[in-house]
Amino acid sequence: MDLKRSRSYQPSVDIEMEGFPLVETKKKDRHLRAGRIQVALLFAFLLTLPLLCILYRGSLSPSQAWLQEFRLRLIKGSEDGSSVTLAASKDRLLGGLLSPDFDTQSCLSRYDVSSYRKASPSSPSSYLLARLRRYESLHKRCGPNTLLYNQSIEQLKTNHSVANMECNYVVWTPFNGLGNRMLTIVSAFLYALLTNRVLLIHVTDDLVDLFCEPFPGTSWVLPSDFILMKDFSNLHLGSPQSYGSMLKNKVISNHVNATTGSLPASVYLHLEHDYQHFDRLFFCENDQLVLEKVNWLVLQSDIYFVPSLFLMPQHKDELEQLFPAKDTVFHHLGRYLFHPTNSIWGMVTRYYNSYLAEAEERIGLQIRIFSRTPISFDGFFDQIVSCFLKENLLPNITLQEQLPSSANMVRSKAVLVTSLYSKYSEKMKSMYYEHPTTTGEVISIYQPTHEEEQHTEQQSHNQKALAEIYLLSLCDVLVTSAWSTFGYVGQSLAGLKPWILLSPQHEKAPSPPCLRAMSMEPCFHTPPNFDCRANKYVDMGDLVRHVRHCEDVYGGVKLVD
């Protein structure tokens, strides 16, 4: 789409925001010129290798064999996706996740992100790629303003579901912060993929100009004249339109023999953190057999409910084919769906090239403070520093004026801090500016913005938040805050297992200060605890090997491989 409604768009126009530079540094141009000269010299050398081999006549020595192998790898590209691929084209399509059928200039980030981010630690399955292409075809037939979409709208007006409709829909509506929204879009899309529905997104003013269209030749934006739009503001726990309320009040039945004609044309799915028992029956097999007969589902959520889809028997085989590595769901689907618009991508690349590109290692630090787990500024700062030192992510400082002898091998590390507050990065900056490190490494601290308060209702706030999420995803190492959906999205897009700063206990830092995540998957904070088949309450973190309790949220579950 570019979530920008129908406005014309000039990709060359940049917008300047706090902390994000408007122009790239001249240093990058110098390095590009030097890089071109080095590549030319390298290829001139490599092209002489066949002649050298002929002159030697005979079997290659080990060193000659290595050189020939190196030349072939440079030309053909490294099979493991490493950086030893100077002559190979970059993986623009992310292992086949992306369709090549888009105009490059309309969304620069889609095909350009592979130039900035490390190769994925896991390749998407061939089955996932086939299903994505099949979904794109379905969305193109059923998307907004198509003949089939218009027919479905006419059916929706009757307020009765109809059997054998070619197009059925799940409509996502936004709730809570940007991290929550991205987690729930991925959850809704996977559910649409599993149930052969078309995903449409309700784009509010605060979401305009954030993401490009993910599906070629169509749009995922719900038209503004959608007939249920006026009801969206009244959707909440206990709404009469919700599936849970309808079940509780016996408006509909969850018996598998419920007929399509007895079901309404649309049902609201309340999957927010406060959902109750009847809402949670959404994850039961019999209830899904009923819901599959409803043509329109309107979903509102702020939780990453993907792990519960893996516990539903009817999806088990399909999910195993889609994701042989269970901990790659958001990693692959997030990279497939979310592409920042040109204005936001410009913010990302300008900041990265100005401050992060020259560092030998980039460390992302994501800080989020929750009122339910209070801690003093000094206490949390000490926890952060303790984590870095304990895990050898950053060196300690020394009070000696003389740098250690190892300083002649200077190594640089850049720390990217994303936080609503600037005081943590300022204190860390002073710490490494005023004192040398014990290793002689040069540590630089950067923070693009500090909004002080969260303003999800503001478009500009969300644009800067998305830019910072993507900057985190370009780092080599991540340290994130417990419970933070912002951090979850950054780690999953990056394909990294972060170190998680654990929640304070009794207003004090815990011991240990941080733990390494089991997987790069987000945590499902409030999973259902009812086993539909056994008809009893259970611990969802103990049912199967690949769904385990989260490190940072008591009672939460996450996918592991």
pLDDT score at 254: 85
Q: Determine the angle formed by the axes of helices 485-494 and 459-473, rounding to 10 degrees.
A: 40
- The number of helices, as runs of H, and strands, as runs of E, in the chain is 18, 14
Q: For residues 48-60, b (16+ Cβ closer than 10 Å) or e, as one string?
A: eeeeebeeeeeee
Which residue type is seen at 458?
Q
Spatial distance between the Cα atoms of 131 and 129, rounded to a whole number of angstroms: 5
Residue 539 confidence (pLDDT): 92
Residue 453 is encoded by which pair of tokens? 């308060």
Token look-up 């097999």 returns 285
| 217 close to 102: Cβ distance less than 8 angstroms | no
Q: What is the pLDDT of residue 154?
A: 95
The H-or-E segment that residue 445 falls in is strand 442-446
Sign, Cα dihedral of 69, 117, 484, 477? positive
Task: Supply the pLDDT for residue 453.
Answer: 81
Q: In 10 A of CB 260, how many CB atoms?
A: 16
Residue 194, both tokens: 């599993």
DSSP letters spanning 386-397: HHHHHTTSSPPB
Residue by residue, DSSP assigns 131-192 as HHHHHHHHHHHHSTTSHHHHHHHHHHHTTS--TT-S--EEEEE--S-HHHHHHHHHHHHHHH
DSSP label at 249?
T
Separation of alpha carbons 494 and 533, rounded Å: 37
- Residue ranges of the chain with pLDDT lower than 50? 1-2, 4-16, 23-33, 37, 39, 45-46, 48-89, 407-408
In this structure, the strands spanning 530-531 and 536-537 are antiparallel
| Residue-level pLDDT at 256 | 63
Distance of CA 51 to the CA centre of its chain: 49
Phi, psi of 429 (to 5 degrees): -65, -45
Tell me the C-alpha distance between 488 and 431, whole Å.
28
Among residues 95, 88, 87, 86, the alpha carbon closest in space to that of 119 is found at: 95
Give the chain's domains with CATH numbers.
35-115 (no CATH), 126-337 (no CATH), 343-522 (3.40.50.11350)
Which of 366, 442, 440, 356 lies closest to 398 in space, CA to CA? Answer: 440
Residue 231's identity, in one-letter code, is D
